[in-house]
Structure 1
Amino acid sequence: MAAKTKVQFLGAAGTVTGSKFYIETHNMKFLIDCGLFQGLKELRQINWEDLPIHVEDLDCVILTHGHLDHTGYLPRLIQQGFKGSILGTSPSLAIARIILMDTAKIQEEEAEEANRENYSKHHPALPLYTEKDAEKAIELFESIEQDKWIKLSDKIQFRMRSAGHILGACFIELDIDEKIFLFSGDLGRNDDLLLAPPHKPKWGDYLFLESTYGNRLHPREDVEEILMRNINEIIQNNGILLMASFAVERLQLLSYILWKLFKKNKIPNIPVYIDSPMGIDVTRLFEKFPESHLIPIEELKAIKGHFELVSSYKRTWEIIDEQRPRIVIAGSGMLTGGRILTYLKQFIDNPNTHLILTGYQAEGTRGRQLEEGTHEIKIRGRYYPVKAKIERIESLSAHADQKELIEWCKNIRNIPEEVFLIHGERQAADAFRVKLESEFNWNIRIPKLEDKIEL
């Protein structure tokens, strides 16, 4: 009889962020993903806590993709004594490298500013981790080829298969003692402009399934019409259009859509600034990994030539001081940090400002507050009245909706022994549970943070 495999949910359980799943077998210990919690303060505070496992005993970490909520805790793992391998596809590791270094730099800068301006409750304010910590994590990166079975031990192997979502993202088929543990990671859309549809698995004895949009369908929006309307209004009112964007995938998608509108003469040739150093770095990866996406290389070059890519913070302030209609795409996508906050501090109280939220807004983020109609937002210790026009484009999401998740599951030939709904807020996960039970009659569980199971 095969020994039991233990799984502990160290993140993305009852919430969307902090993806971390601890696997312990008779001869190996490893993590699937190692992400940061974002959003609610009580979740973010968990980032400062050591994991409730012996980190120094971990053999490896396997990454589904490079997003912060799947990779951002890696430097903290190093601080706790991790010395194993960090495995992922080449594009995923390239994205993770950019995100970790950027996050570490922001952590250090924000701690420095908090100490200088004296707005932190902590004296002194410290970064969660430093650039040196991030570099130590990056040194452990090991690239894995997609679709190829990788042996971890005699009875453990895994395979990474394309999940859409972002460049290099994969779901994981983990074979332990001839049982398939299927980790969906974040699944992408079937009709994404940038990426091919996700591959579909044929078998899963235990399924760990994301449920971010488990309770809804993405609306059928005319994104081009929404952008054209907003652009025409800022031109009439001499305003500014701010687009809060994730640096990975969303920024490239928005750039591509705007470029196509310019090319078709559907919008005037007004300045477009891509003010996201991390987004610019990620865009270069689209050139480096052309086989991983659908944008023709000549289009990528044309986009870079047409829009201004902003790196220096000095240039940010020059753009702020301009007295003409302009479009700015900046991160972060949920307004938790980044250059978008500099623009918001200057423009959020102006009714001629248009702010478009372009993706999922987690609980506790400024983006969620604005989406829900707050009259003021707090940025670095100060409140700013909200008078700008706020709009959200939901259909650009890189996450599969309920219908697409169910379609993905339909390809699984067997009846899984158990299905665990992860990476979703409680309401979304519970609605998805009901839908899946009626569709497949599967045995479904919604785990809580730090729950342990034996399979």
Structure 2
Amino acid sequence: MDTFVKVHFLGASGVVTGSKFLLETPEKNILIDCGMFQGLKDLRELNWEDLEVDVPAIDVVILTHGHLDHVGYLPRLLKQGFTGRIIGTAPTLAIAEIILKDSAKIHEEEAEKANKEKYTKHEPALPFYTTLEAEKTISLFQVEMPDKWIKLSENISYRFQYNGHIIGATFVELDIQGKRFVFSGDIGRPNDYLLDDPKSPEWADFLFIESTYGNKLHPKENIEETLAALIKDTIHKKGNLIIPSFAVERLQTLMYVLWKLYKANKIPDIPIFVDSPMGNNVLDVFKRFPKWHKLSTEEYDAMCNHINIIQSYKETWETIDDNRSKIIIAGSGMVTGGRVLTYLQQLIDEPSTTVLLVGYQAEGTRGRLLQEGAHEIRFFGKYYPVKATIKCVGSLSAHGDQNDLIHWMSSIKNIPETVFLIHGEPTALDAFRVKIENTYGWHVKIPKLNSVEKLRL
């Protein structure tokens, strides 16, 4: 008798964010990632809807890595009746814990602010989830090692393999009754400042691969020269260089590059402020898991000692009031929330300010609006004119580009039955589909959100 796996594409299908893939198998129901949608309002509103599957029947969640668009929906999953284990590598779960606690706090603060200042149509505005719900979620975490096959049931095993991208990130291989399902997670880049090169799968009957930059090659810019020039210009203008940054990996990479530039006498001793409570916690994860990155203890300590790490909101305002030219790195990377909003609210209307965007800006985010040349931007219910200079660099992206993705697939020895393209915007997905078909001749599908595929074992 034929047996099947039903794959539900509950997120990151036709869009970049909200990664969630449910595998209904004869033995276990397995959810790969459980992320929040980000960006366009229509997408963000999907976060408030219950999943169109039997959530209490899900046995286990396996996480590829700790980013919000891969873990941020977990507390809502518990609200819908999930009681199983949430499995990831040790750094992934450490990052996920930081992100869930931090975002719960932000959700609570934003709901409180919206209710107080009445800039919401919701009566009352509610947090997406609370700190208590985040802590309940974290209690279900279970650490597993990479490079080791782990049995889930009689005929199902899985393995984590190192994937670069951020600390702890992996791709996931699932063997189900002799068929191998490979979920790429987010694939990092070779020659990263902080991380080793990603490993690659050697076999895949069904491949689910991210396509964030499926239609692009990263620019061959020299990030160190670009940063040095921007810093000199900032000093010349007697202004501020504000870098909205993802708290995980990007922030630590920026710290490392700036410290390296200073050490090599390529930039003057300009004050550098890092304002990201979550980013500070992620620095501790680097300290706790030295085998997962390339920084030595000596380099790590020297870098942290060179940079002013802001500890309180009071210090945020002291930094804004500081008249010196300075570099401010603050969360969040797509300018969707976090401390960077306070700096931009105060400084984006000054021509002496430069804002440097250093990563992927999802459709519908303030970062994308700035990238596309918006003349005004909205913070906390009010519009502010954009008089600052907006700059973008693509070479610090933590995602592999089209060449990196094609190379990552090149170790696969068999011909996959189907390659599913996920985690990409429509133009990237289609360009990547054509590239894979032309390069390998493999059968490629682009699943739609909430579609279901029945795969024969």
Q: TM-score range by the shorter chain?
A: over 0.9
CA distance in structure 2 between the partners assigned to 1:14 and 1:353 by the alignment: 36
Contact 1:2 1:177 in 2 (8 A): no
CA shift, 1:24, in A, is: 0.2
Equivalent position of 2:70 in the other structure: 70
Contact 1:334 1:365 in 2 (8 A): yes
Taking the TM superposition and a 5 Å limit, the aligned residue runs for 1:237-248 are 237-248=237-248
Equivalent position of 2:23 in the other structure: 23
Gaps of 5+ in 2: none
CA distance in structure 1 between the partners assigned to 2:236 and 2:213 by the alignment: 36
CA shift, 1:123, in A, is: 1.0
Counterpart of 2:149, as a letter, is: W
CA distance in structure 2 between the partners assigned to 1:272 and 1:116 by the alignment: 34
Counterpart of 1:315, as a letter, is: E
Taking the TM superposition and a 5 Å limit, the aligned residue runs for 1:312-351 are 312-351=312-351
- Secondary structure of residue in 1 paired with 2:420: strand
- Secondary structure of residue in 1 paired with 2:214: coil
Q: Runs ≥4 in structure 1, deviation > 4 angstroms?
A: none
Equivalent position of 1:300 in the other structure: 300
Contact 1:16 1:423 in 2 (8 A): yes
- Secondary structure of residue in 1 paired with 2:111: helix
CA distance in structure 1 between the partners assigned to 2:26 and 2:263 by the alignment: 59
Counterpart of 2:278, as a letter, is: M
Contact 1:168 1:292 in 2 (8 A): yes
* Residue 289 of structure 1 pairs with residue 289 of structure 2: yes
Equivalent position of 2:158 in the other structure: 158
Equivalent position of 2:376 in the other structure: 376
CA shift, 1:35, in A, is: 0.2
Equivalent position of 1:55 in the other structure: 55
Counterpart of 1:206, as a letter, is: F
Counterpart of 2:403, as a letter, is: K
- Secondary structure of residue in 2 paired with 1:45: helix
Gaps of 5+ in 1: none
CA distance in structure 1 between the partners assigned to 2:40 and 2:237 by the alignment: 36
- Secondary structure of residue in 2 paired with 1:48: coil
Equivalent position of 1:205 in the other structure: 205
Equivalent position of 1:366 in the other structure: 366
Q: Deviations over 1:115-165 (max 9, x none)?
A: 111101101110000000000100000001101011011011100000110
Equivalent position of 2:132 in the other structure: 132
Q: Deviations over 1:395-415 (max 9, x none)?
A: 000000000100011110100
CA distance in structure 2 between the partners assigned to 1:244 and 1:429 by the alignment: 27
Counterpart of 1:223, as a letter, is: I
- Secondary structure of residue in 1 paired with 2:167: coil
CA distance in structure 1 between the partners assigned to 2:176 and 2:160 by the alignment: 15
* Residue 253 of structure 1 pairs with residue 258 of structure 2: no
CA shift, 1:224, in A, is: 1.1
CA shift, 1:26, in A, is: 1.1
Identical residues among aligned pairs (%): 60
CA distance in structure 1 between the partners assigned to 2:297 and 2:246 by the alignment: 21
CA distance in structure 2 between the partners assigned to 1:235 and 1:439 by the alignment: 48
CA distance in structure 2 between the partners assigned to 1:270 and 1:404 by the alignment: 35
Counterpart of 2:110, as a letter, is: E
Taking the TM superposition and a 5 Å limit, the aligned residue runs for 1:77-226 are 77-226=77-226
Contact 1:354 1:390 in 2 (8 A): yes
CA distance in structure 2 between the partners assigned to 1:11 and 1:71 by the alignment: 12
CA distance in structure 2 between the partners assigned to 1:150 and 1:182 by the alignment: 15
Equivalent position of 1:273 in the other structure: 273
Equivalent position of 2:454 in the other structure: 454
CA distance in structure 2 between the partners assigned to 1:238 and 1:335 by the alignment: 24
Equivalent position of 1:399 in the other structure: 399
* Residue 418 of structure 1 pairs with residue 409 of structure 2: no
- Secondary structure of residue in 1 paired with 2:255: helix
Aligned-residue CA RMSD (Å):
0.6
Equivalent position of 1:33 in the other structure: 33
CA distance in structure 1 between the partners assigned to 2:446 and 2:311 by the alignment: 43
CA distance in structure 1 between the partners assigned to 2:330 and 2:111 by the alignment: 22
CA distance in structure 2 between the partners assigned to 1:390 and 1:97 by the alignment: 33
Taking the TM superposition and a 5 Å limit, the aligned residue runs for 1:434-445 are 434-445=434-445
CA distance in structure 2 between the partners assigned to 1:408 and 1:267 by the alignment: 36
Compute the TM-score of the two structures, normalised by the length of structure 2: 0.99
- Secondary structure of residue in 2 paired with 1:420: strand
CA distance in structure 1 between the partners assigned to 2:304 and 2:222 by the alignment: 25
Contact 1:370 1:390 in 2 (8 A): yes
Further displaced range: 37-46 or 228-237:
228-237
Query: Alignment length, in residue pairs?
Result: 455
CA distance in structure 1 between the partners assigned to 2:413 and 2:376 by the alignment: 51
CA shift, 1:27, in A, is: 2.0
CA distance in structure 2 between the partners assigned to 1:30 and 1:130 by the alignment: 25
CA distance in structure 2 between the partners assigned to 1:322 and 1:286 by the alignment: 30
Counterpart of 1:156, as a letter, is: I
Contact 1:165 1:188 in 2 (8 A): yes
CA distance in structure 2 between the partners assigned to 1:250 and 1:27 by the alignment: 39
CA distance in structure 2 between the partners assigned to 1:195 and 1:215 by the alignment: 24
CA distance in structure 2 between the partners assigned to 1:276 and 1:9 by the alignment: 33
CA distance in structure 1 between the partners assigned to 2:2 and 2:291 by the alignment: 40
Q: Deviations over 1:369-412 (max 9, x none)?
A: 11011111111111111110111110000000000100011110
CA distance in structure 1 between the partners assigned to 2:327 and 2:200 by the alignment: 38
CA distance in structure 1 between the partners assigned to 2:193 and 2:261 by the alignment: 14
- Secondary structure of residue in 2 paired with 1:115: helix
Equivalent position of 1:6 in the other structure: 6
Counterpart of 1:52, as a letter, is: E
